[in-house]
Chains A and B, each alone.
Chain A
């Protein structure tokens, strides 16, 4: 049974999502912050810059780099030199970092970065979907998706604790929906410095660039060695499955707040229809579920918090008794006509005796609103799947035919 979330309302303040995240990064006591401004991540780096200007982050250097490529490259050096490192980006910026993402995970550097998820161009769009982070899914970063501002703020401290664990040493992306979370003002409890100090120990790396004990980082590996590096990365990812759960519980013990570990569930116990999704859309889905439950539609939600590592067992456990699973994706793998969460959910179930039909919908590209009506329509179609089987396996929603 999931712990009950104890939000202390007396500690709540109304702040912008970006501010809550910047504040969270601050109380995690980073030593080096390196970032390049890009909408809608900008407010995070502006708030951090102001903290620096006000002398509020001790023992920290802020590098105003000339590109996202260098933002992450600088953190390769900083992290290898023993610093706790932070960055934030989105969309084109994240795509520009692509090569360095592999580099950081390959060198097992526990960098934490907030992604204010945004669509990728062309056509250029500054609004939210998940295509940017999903495009980086194979780079060896943990990817955690947050439902609301409180969660993404708290996830920052959790991510450091997971990434810096000696058994893991893999970098983390904490993903928040651009604008929908980054630019919204909501009541939140900002991460407390004293509790964070208790929760998150000082980063003490075992391997550091130090003239007193010279080591070579990022050596060249021929075919006799390369495979084993990749294998060890995957082993660390698999260990992270348990670590993410453990850290969510440890976070609850210190702060009294809980959002699920790898996944979270909402009214799934007796659900015939299970909707799966990631990010802020799950809030909307919960409201629709409440409405439909009043009409005796047995529908529940499986919120995926961890997309990497992918929580295969946790998903299997939740969906095994359902009559249909509906996966909503704010991304598409072009050429497969499917979103990534849908593909991977199906893949998780194939070689099992769970024979639940799974259908996928691609929703909310480039910031298009996902409305109650759309989700209700999707649930109605899912009811048909229970009766008549799958007619359309995966499809776009709300396409404006008149524009085609």
Chain B
């Protein structure tokens, strides 16, 4: 399968964004137009006059990628080129769950034929690891640091896939860069379905989460295997497929201890009880999706 993201971009070693973009393009194919809001992916792939993109690509602002995508889709329709290109929007969790929320909500409510891929590395990595609405419970970031009286981020992740299901999208799915085939197939399926479709990909960031650059895929897989990041598909509002874990479910502790952002949970007094709360989040997922 041809990679449409050229090597030689300026991502970190072990970068989750590079993998996510590469897999998403493999799924979408070369006849697509990519919209990419502000973030690591945009900065590392397009330092003028260079570009890593082998497909047409546009960046405009942090908070409007879905609206830009809406405009491209409308233009293709008006110009009679709707069958010539798919619109693929790829944004990070900040651009998706936080600042771009209105724009995404509008695009999905209007029913544009586009696929939105959220590359979720659970914080604002481009600006130095500040918390976002996707930062998980108790993760330490530079704006939700752990400290003498804090275990880090005080709130659980915003459930973005559920919000997108509530918009009536014909296809909403979760995936992970730890499972390339899963991601490629889901993006392919999403781009082939008429209407606004949403793919939420979990994407561990070696720099922001604090793990060795060789461990990106391993950490990603562990998030899935603990039940903290369930992989499922929702079609027309119904859960149609779930990646089962069976007997291989791992305790969240194994996932947490791989990462610097949760290190304080293992050293602070009361950390154990906090880990139990995170285990409860995973247990709830396991029950809800029958993992």
Q: How far is the CB of A265 from chain B (nearest CB, A)?
A: 41
A70 with B60: CB separation less than 8 A: no
Digitize B185-205: 1 where CB-to-A-CB distance is under 8 Å, 0 elsewhere. Answer: 000000000000000000000
Chain B residues near A218 (CB, 8 Å)?
Answer: 58-60
For B31, B102, B105, which residue has the most chain A Cβ atoms within 10 angstroms? B102
Q: A17 CA to B92 CA in the complex, in Å? A: 44
B54's nearest neighbour on chain A, judged by CB, is: A214
Interface of B is mostly: mixed
Q: How far is the CB of A348 from chain B (nearest CB, A)?
A: 34
The residue from A64, A67, A78, A216 contacting B57, defined by CB atoms under 8 A apart: A216
For B61, B63, B80, which residue has the most chain A Cβ atoms within 10 angstroms? B61
Q: A31 CA to B46 CA in the complex, in Å? A: 29
The residue from A61, A69, A214 contacting B103, defined by CB atoms under 8 A apart: A69
Which of the candidate stretches A138-146, A167-175, A220-228, A377-385 sits at the interface with the other chain? A220-228
Chain B residues near A77 (CB, 8 Å)?
Answer: 35, 58, 60, 67-75
Chain A residues near B51 (CB, 8 Å)?
Answer: 216, 219
A61 with B77: CB separation less than 8 A: yes
Q: How far is the CB of B279 from chain A (nearest CB, A)?
A: 39
Asked if A210 CB lies within 8 Å of chain B CBs, one says: yes
For B60, B61, B85, which residue has the most chain A Cβ atoms within 10 angstroms? B60
B42 with A74: CB separation less than 8 A: no
CB-CB under 8 A for A211 and B35, given A77-B69, A80-B58, A216-B53: no
Asked if A285 CB lies within 8 Å of chain B CBs, one says: no
Within 8 A of A (CB), among B163-208: none
Q: A136 CA to B106 CA in the complex, in Å? A: 25
Chain B residues near A100 (CB, 8 Å)?
Answer: 60-61, 64
Chain A residues near B79 (CB, 8 Å)?
Answer: 31, 59, 81-83
Asked if B281 CB lies within 8 Å of chain A CBs, one says: no
B77 with A70: CB separation less than 8 A: no
A78 with B71: CB separation less than 8 A: yes
Chain A residues near B109 (CB, 8 Å)?
Answer: 66
B72 with A80: CB separation less than 8 A: yes
Asked if A32 CB lies within 8 Å of chain B CBs, one says: yes
Q: A289 CA to B30 CA in the complex, in Å? A: 65
Asked if B265 CB lies within 8 Å of chain A CBs, one says: no
Within 8 A of A (CB), among B23-51: 30-33, 35, 42-43, 46-49, 51
B46 with A219: CB separation less than 8 A: yes
Q: A219 CA to B49 CA in the complex, in Å? A: 8
Asked if A209 CB lies within 8 Å of chain B CBs, one says: yes
B71 with A66: CB separation less than 8 A: no
B63's nearest neighbour on chain A, judged by CB, is: A69
B71 with A69: CB separation less than 8 A: no
B interface list, Cβ under 8 A from A: 30-33, 35, 42-43, 46-49, 51, 53-61, 63-64, 67-80, 84-85, 102-103, 105-107, 109-110
26 sample A-B contacts, Cβ–Cβ < 8 Å, listed by A number: A31-B79, A32-B75, A60-B78, A61-B75, A65-B67, A65-B70, A66-B105, A69-B63, A69-B67, A70-B103, A74-B68, A76-B68, A77-B67, A77-B68, A77-B75, A82-B75, A100-B64, A209-B33, A214-B54, A215-B57, A216-B51, A216-B56, A217-B56, A218-B60, A219-B47, A225-B48
New A-B pairs, 18, CB < 8 Å, besides A73-B103, A211-B33: A59-B78, A63-B71, A66-B106, A70-B103, A70-B107, A73-B67, A76-B64, A80-B72, A81-B79, A82-B75, A83-B71, A103-B61, A211-B84, A214-B53, A217-B57, A219-B59, A220-B46, A220-B48
